[in-house]
Structure 1
């Protein structure tokens, strides 16, 4: 299991930076292990794991479960942040068809390994537990995946 400490900035891909206390970061120690940090109000939720040998869908390496964030302790969360890791560079990404009303914007970045292999990193959010299922696709249409169903 990778270390849960943040590496130096040179090794971190910033998917989204939203003000001084919010954003999504991802780093990969090698091409199989990853750590992600979702930062809100200066607090980082860090999750590390290994990519599965089998892919949930063509080109898709990982889709995380929606990480809930509460505005105030004891309240129901009103923001769920998802991250996806895909093989290659297919961005920019967008919702297939109309963007669901409670869905937030999609942000993406590309991580390039020394070998030349590229991995697309995607972050997106929803602002409600109840939201119609939708797909997210790359600009070339080669990679599409269900937005709100995590891979195992």
Structure 2
């Protein structure tokens, strides 16, 4: 996956990628598919969705706050690359939350046509900890579903972005 992202980065040099040990692999699927995230500091992030050797990279900065406790960002679902002439059938979402509250899961029963929730924690030199959450859904209608941390302190709408 890293090689696919680095190959894409040559076309988009403004998205600087650090050395491999500073890239968080949130989800890995075979062959050569998954999601990566890296942060230059505790505010600036880049995420990459990789499928069949192609990487879609998005960079930005985390907002100062969001109305829900601990939630810093929920992205609009980005489509995995579809074959030419086909509609994408799978959309990947990314959320970033303050602190450690995982593991994360759908609140109540898992909604239909949704994939599992994957999460990890990044700790910065300043001591700030951010939870990185990745999940997916197929192109069926968007359900009103929440994702919550195990301790219940952080919950957010899974498919309604703040970006």
TM-score bracket for the superposition, by shorter chain length: over 0.9
Partner of 2:95: 84
5+ unaligned residues in a row in structure 1: which ranges? none
Count matched residues: 151
Partner of 2:151: 140
More helix by share: 2
CA distance in 2, matches of 1:130, 1:71: 19
Partner of 2:51: 40
CA distance in 2, matches of 1:20, 1:91: 27
Partner of 1:104: 115
TM-score (norm 1): 0.93
CA distance in 1, matches of 2:30, 2:16: 22
CA distance in 2, matches of 1:42, 1:5: 19
CA distance in 2, matches of 1:30, 1:101: 36
CA contact (8 A) 1:108 1:120 kept: yes
Instruction: Select between 18-27 and 41-50 the one with higher mean Cα deviation.
Output: 18-27
The Cα RMSD (Å) is 1.5
Question: Helix, strand or coil for the counterpart of 1:49?
Answer: strand
TM-score (norm 2): 0.87
5+ unaligned residues in a row in structure 2: which ranges? 1-12
Distance 1:46 1:70, change over 3 A: closer
For the pair 1:95 / 2:90, whether they are aligned, the reply is no
Q: After superposition, where does 1:3-152 map in structure 2 within 5 Å?
A: 3-152=14-163
CA distance in 2, matches of 1:33, 1:70: 25
Q: Which runs of 4+ in 1 moved over 3 A?
A: none
